[in-house]
Amino acid sequence: MSEIPSPSAAPLEPPAGERIRRFRAVPLRLLIPNLVTLLALCVGLTAIRFAFEGAVEWAVTAIAAAAVLDGLDGRIARALKGTSRFGAELDSLADFVDFGVAPGVVLYFSGLDQLKSLGWLATLVFCIACALRLARFNVTIDDVSLPEWRKHFFVGMPAPAGAIVGLLPVYLRFLLSSPSAEPRFVALEIVYVVAIALLMASRVPHFSGKSIGRIPRDYVAVVLIGLAAALLLIVNFPLQSLIALSLAYLGSIPFSVRRYTALLRENG
């Protein structure tokens, strides 16, 4: 009488032609940019914690640090030739937390909460606009039909810039030694926050820092001195520096629109 093989008697390994390699070695050059992105995500989540605890100044510092890390991860990936679709998606998810949720929470708990539901509505609009901005960026990142000159511009305000510029009312309050917003100014802050949100979700062109190429050798010393001076100013006068950066960025928008329009006419 022949025995019927039990399931446990089945071969433990599939045939050689059907073997699937479960683990694949990942090059270190792919891991490093993603680790920087995860570090930025941790910093953004810490900013939310600081906002809940009332440490608004530390929350602002954490968001600014996340913006610096966000600028580094992409450049590190390109330098190491470690760009990947996974890294791009992870970066977008981290950006939504760092530059959508975290600034929105900081704005709400630092003054917008005085108007209750209206302040929360402005916070939601800011977060949603950031999500729409990032989703549109993900859709267009693989569009090979875009002309080369379009790569010098962002469509809508970038999420990191939206976070830094959107927190301008918070910088001004701390500079004036008034951490809590006055009720008469909260409505103006809501209008400002919604305006920044609309700029993120809009199709208004903004200059892209990614278009900056190699620096000519004759200007390397000048650029290094300028970067050192800017770093010293940020360290010694953080609020004043953030205010200056925010105002300078807002002032650059008309120039980016004019330059974009001129290039569109030339290449249209």
Which has more confidence, 160 or 6?
A: 160
CA distance linking residue 44 with residue 91, whole number of Å: 12
Say yes or no to pLDDT of 33 above 70.
Answer: yes
Mean pLDDT for 34-50 is 94
pLDDT at 6 over 60: no
CA pair distance 130, 69, nearest whole angstrom = 18
How far is residue 224's CA from residue 216's CA, in Å, rounded to a whole number? 12
From residue 211, how far is each of 1, 26, 85, 149 by CA, in Å?
78, 29, 21, 9
Q: Under CATH, what is the fold of the domain 28-261?
A: Four Helix Bundle (Hemerythrin (Met), subunit A) (1.20.120)
Domain boundary assignment for the chain: 28-261
Amino acid at 267: N
φ/ψ (deg, to 5) at 155: -90, 105
CA-based end-to-end distance of the chain: 84
The residue ranking higher by pLDDT, 195 or 17, is 195
pLDDT at 9 > cutoff 80:
no
- Among 47, 46, 38, 69, which Cα is nearest to 167's? 47
Tell me: the pLDDT tens digits for 153-175?
888 999 999 999 999 999 988 88
Q: How far apart are CA 103 and CA 197, in angstroms?
A: 12
Which of the four pLDDT bands, split at 50, 70 and 90, describes residue 96? very high
- Tell me: the pLDDT tens digits for 217-256? 666 677 778 778 877 887 788 888 899 999 999 999 999 9
Q: What is the Cβ-side half-sphere exposure of residue 185, based on CA atoms within 13 angstroms?
A: 11
What is the pTM (predicted TM-score) of this model? 0.83
